Amino acid sequence: MAPIHSSVMFTQLIVAGAFVPLLAFAQLTPTAPGPGDQFTAGGNCTIEWTADETGACTNLTIDLMSGPNNNMSFVTNVTTGLDGTDPSLTPFTWTCPFVTPNSDIYSYKFECSANDSDTTWTSRFSIAAEDGSTTPPEYSTQPNGDPIPWGYGSLSNQTQPQTDESEPDPSANNPDPSSSMNNWPETSSSPPLYGTYGSSTAAANSTATLKLPKAFATMSASGLNSTSPASSTPTGSRSVAPSLAAISGAPALQIPFGVLSFFFLAGTILAL
């Protein structure tokens, strides 16, 4: 009975082992691009494959590669996390990167897991410059002597975004001080403005600005003296107070100097 038992166990192992490849390895097959295909940097790159029917490849990663067959090198990632079992995701289109050199040395690596048995490749294809130009591959044969051209590729500087490095105009936040002085409003809190006493302009603006008489009289020890018209700019302290008309906003009353002298002399005679 022992030999019969061993034979049954051996048969079960063979049957179970027959299903291991189907459960462990994905069956995704790249179909494009193929030999002779060319795409343009900055344009659309198209990738096609047949979906995995085993249900194993649910997390597909696609990378752009270059280099020899026995030691391919990474250029850039195309996409990650695709469901390789979904046939509606193929063909897949992405923007071709700017690379150097523009040559027939690029291919795609399809990876469904960390297991090398789940990794497949497309044939080599070209990524041309924007003007459509390409250069021959750097090497004409593989390291083992196979007559398959190849070369190393990488992203070029053109893939970097172009930023505006212009500096802001410093005058935008620092206007000309002189222009600010000229635009001060004529209010009682602003620097004093000196206009022409008695004019229509002075009367209209008397509530906002302080208007001084064009001529005024002062009493001194030697009698009544007249002074010169006031300057248009402050020239020191003033001992004469502004007129009541200027302060209250009423129209200024102009009285000739001779009339003032007459009333002053008349008042003096009457006082005697």
Domain-located, residue 169? no
The model's confidence at residue 158, banded by pLDDT at 50, 70 and 90, is: confident
3-state helix, strand, coil in the chain (%, to 5): 25, 25, 55
Residues 6 or more apart whose CB falls under 8 angstroms from that of 15 comprise none
Note whether 261 and 215 are same-domain residues. Answer: yes
CATH no. for residue 71?
Answer: 2.60.40.10
Domain-located, residue 48? yes
Note whether 104 and 37 are same-domain residues. Answer: yes
Coil vs helix vs strand at 74: strand
Note whether 131 and 221 are same-domain residues. Answer: no
Average pLDDT value for residue range 158-185: 47
* Structural domain span for residue 107: 24-159
Task: Write down the pLDDT at residue 114.
Answer: 65
How far apart, in whole angstroms, are the C-alpha atoms of residue 39 and residue 33?
Answer: 10
Check whether 33 has a pLDDT greater than 60.
yes
Count Cβ atoms below 10 Å from residue 201 Cβ, excluding itself.
Answer: 12
The residue among 126 and 235 whose pLDDT is bigger is 126
CA distances from 135 to 46, 58, 96, 132, 216 (A): 21, 37, 17, 10, 96
Domain-located, residue 222? yes
Note whether 109 and 50 are same-domain residues. Answer: yes
Domain-located, residue 142? yes
What pTM did the predictor assign?
A: 0.52
Residue showing tokens 């523009």? 102
Note whether 155 and 211 are same-domain residues. Answer: no
Domain-located, residue 102? yes
Note whether 148 and 256 are same-domain residues. Answer: no
Residue 108 bridge partners (DSSP): 64
Note whether 51 and 140 are same-domain residues. Answer: yes
Q: What are the tens digits of pLDDT across the range 134-155?
A: 999 999 999 999 999 999 999 9
Note whether 145 and 87 are same-domain residues. Answer: yes
Structural domains counted in the chain? 2
How far apart, in whole angstroms, are the C-alpha atoms of residue 53 and residue 44?
Answer: 28
Check whether 235 has a pLDDT greater than 50.
no
Check whether 254 has a pLDDT greater than 60.
no
The length of the chain is: 272
Question: In this structure, what token pair is assigned to residue 234?
Answer: 């402050």
Q: Given 144, 159, 174, which residue is the final one in a domain?
A: 159
Task: Write down the pLDDT at residue 10.
Answer: 41
Note whether 51 and 106 are same-domain residues. Answer: yes
